[in-house]
Amino acid sequence: MNIILFGLNHKTAPLEIREKLSCVPSEGLHPLPEIMRIEGIREALYLSTCNRTEIFFRAEGSTEETLGHLKELVRKRGGFAAEEIDRHFYLHFDEQALRHLFRVASSLDSMVMGEPQILGQVKESYREAVHNEATGILLNKILHHTFRVAKRVRTETGIASHAVSVSFAAVALAKKIFGTLAGKTVILIGAGEMAELAARHLMQHGAGRILVANRSLARSMQLAELFKGDAVPFDDLATYLQETDIVITSTGAPTYIVSREMLASALHRRKNRLLFLIDIAVPRDIDPAAGRLDNVYLYNIDDLQDIVDENRNIRQKEMERAEEIVTEEIGRYRNWYNTLEVVPTIVSLKEKTAGIIRGELEKSSPWMHNLTEEDRAHIEGLLSSVVNKILHDPIVGLKDKTTDHSAKPYIAAVRHLFNLEEDGPSETRSE
């Protein structure tokens, strides 16, 4: 196939290495035109995200020389030392490269397995490759096949349906409890990173207003500005709990700052509307006894971690099925690719028989001259039908031989027996 993948990702390179290349290339600065000028590269895809930069390409000629030029291009663009290229970058060839691309698009190689963003990024990279005229028959087929694999993995497995981060587990629980997050009010008590991330996820999934209560008013205002929310006085927590649906706490307080009595009072004033509390602090911010109140759902960091661990195990099982899908689709692509070996011979055979039909019709034109246009069309159609039926079995036989890589002697025999020109239609593949 001469398909090669060259790149680095979050598994092979730290952030300070990845960030040298991981950006969406600016208009006019996209590396694809420069990549396509490298001797031997015929088709190419450039994928760049915060976690990976990969170049997937089809090569002709001296692979070693082509790779040398590509590595030097990447080294210069990223300002790498030569040893950094050897230490952090990887190479995959042919089916190994194909498997890697399928796994990347299906988010099996992502930092968070099952995340949906990577497929969109692969699609955008493909659009850029098409725009730069960097694709051909093989890359077009491979990318469309890649999208098919990703769709199968997402629809036939549950790999994306179970939260595997503490912050996102909190969102999944909130959606389960409320049914919808639309219009729900969230209060952040403290300014911990995980609490902030959970609030961000909640907002992305439809939650409404964000309130922030922190002992430092300046920090409250800073965090509130991130969510276009409101900073509220830390000492007025009891009041604001009356209008809040979701509470996320992450202070460093040595004792409980939200008591059972405070919540009971708030519930009475809110007419027992559901209240969801996420206590991510260590030590805990919320009195565990509050969890026994009616209409109160209280989860601490260990509860969320248990959910994450369980979901990670579920995803791992789903990953096994996803890997099976990748393997199946590699087999399908291989079968398609192998048929390309016989395509030039089949095309030559059909062109030769079509030429024979045209020649015989021309020889017969004197006596066919008296026929109607409809009769002549029937005769031409009959001749084409007979020839196609005669060729059907040989063509199917040639295609069948591609499955076990034994087509070459049959191709040679057909070309010899039918006296096909040596310089037939141009090859659609390269080895």
Q: Find the mean pLDDT for residues 143-166.
A: 85
Q: State the Cα–Cα distance between residues 188 and 280, nearest whole angstrom.
A: 11
Confidence band (pLDDT; 50, 70, 90) for 72? very high
Task: Answer yes or no: is pLDDT of 404 > 90.
Answer: no
pLDDT at 409 (0 to 100): 84
pLDDT at 264 (0 to 100): 93
Q: 325-350: per-residue pLDDT in tens? A: 999 999 999 888 877 777 777 788 88
Q: Find the mean pLDDT for residues 400-424.
A: 74
Q: Find the mean pLDDT for residues 219-245.
A: 90
Q: What percent of the chain has pLDDT over 70?
A: 93
Q: State the Cα–Cα distance between residues 57 and 38, nearest whole angstrom.
A: 11
Are 27 and 113 part of one and the same domain?
yes
Are 287 and 397 part of one and the same domain?
no
Residue 426 lies in a domain: no
Residue 370 lies in a domain: yes
Residue 19 lies in a domain: yes
pLDDT at 427 (0 to 100): 42
Are 175 and 196 part of one and the same domain?
yes
Mean pLDDT is lowest, of 144-158, 292-306, 336-350, for 336-350
Residue 430 lies in a domain: no
Are 215 and 265 part of one and the same domain?
yes
Active-site pick, 50, 130, 238, 357: 50
Are 130 and 222 part of one and the same domain?
no
> Which candidate, 110, 184, 182, places its Cα nearest to that of 153?
110
Q: Is 428 helix (H, G, I), strand (E, B) or coil?
A: coil
More confident residue, 140 or 343: 140
Task: Answer yes or no: is pLDDT of 368 > 90.
Answer: no
Q: 6-22: per-residue pLDDT in tens? A: 999 989 998 888 888 86
pLDDT at 258 (0 to 100): 95
Task: Answer yes or no: is pLDDT of 55 > 50.
Answer: yes
Q: How far is CA 187 from CA 271, 296, 330, in A?
A: 19, 15, 49
Tokens standing for 30? 């996209």
Single residue among 161, 178, 213 that ends a domain in this structure: 161
Are 15 and 144 part of one and the same domain?
yes
Residue 138 lies in a domain: yes
pLDDT at 263 (0 to 100): 94
More confident residue, 112 or 431: 112
Q: List the beta bridge partners of residue 194.
A: none
Are 137 and 231 part of one and the same domain?
no
Q: State the Cα–Cα distance between residues 58 and 138, nearest whole angstrom.
A: 8
Confidence band (pLDDT; 50, 70, 90) for 27? very low
Residue 272 lies in a domain: yes
pLDDT at 26 (0 to 100): 47
pLDDT at 126 (0 to 100): 97
CATH number, position 53? 3.30.460.30
Are 156 and 25 part of one and the same domain?
yes
Domain count along the chain: 3
Q: Find the mean pLDDT for residues 374-400.
A: 86
Confidence band (pLDDT; 50, 70, 90) for 408? confident
Task: Answer yes or no: is pLDDT of 58 > 50.
Answer: yes
Domain span at residue 253 reads 166-307
On average, the pLDDT of the chain sits at 86
Are 367 and 395 part of one and the same domain?
yes
pLDDT at 430 (0 to 100): 42
pLDDT at 428 (0 to 100): 43
Return the amino acid letter for 125: S
pLDDT at 120 (0 to 100): 92
Are 19 and 154 part of one and the same domain?
yes
pLDDT at 426 (0 to 100): 43
Question: Active site includes 50?
Answer: yes
Mean pLDDT is lowest, of 10-24, 50-64, 173-187, for 10-24
Residue 322 lies in a domain: no
pLDDT at 424 (0 to 100): 47
Q: Find the mean pLDDT for residues 102-127.
A: 88
* Residues whose CB falls within 8 Å of the CB of residue 351, separated by 6 or more in sequence, listed in order: 424, 425
Are 177 and 85 part of one and the same domain?
no
Task: Answer yes or no: is pLDDT of 201 > 90.
Answer: no
DSSP string, 375-413: HHHHHHHHHHHHHHHHHHHHHHHHHHHGGGT--HHHHHH
Are 288 and 353 part of one and the same domain?
no
Task: Answer yes or no: is pLDDT of 297 > 90.
Answer: yes
Residue 320 lies in a domain: no
pLDDT at 425 (0 to 100): 46
CATH number, position 283? 3.40.50.720
Task: Answer yes or no: is pLDDT of 28 > 70.
Answer: no
Confidence band (pLDDT; 50, 70, 90) for 1? low
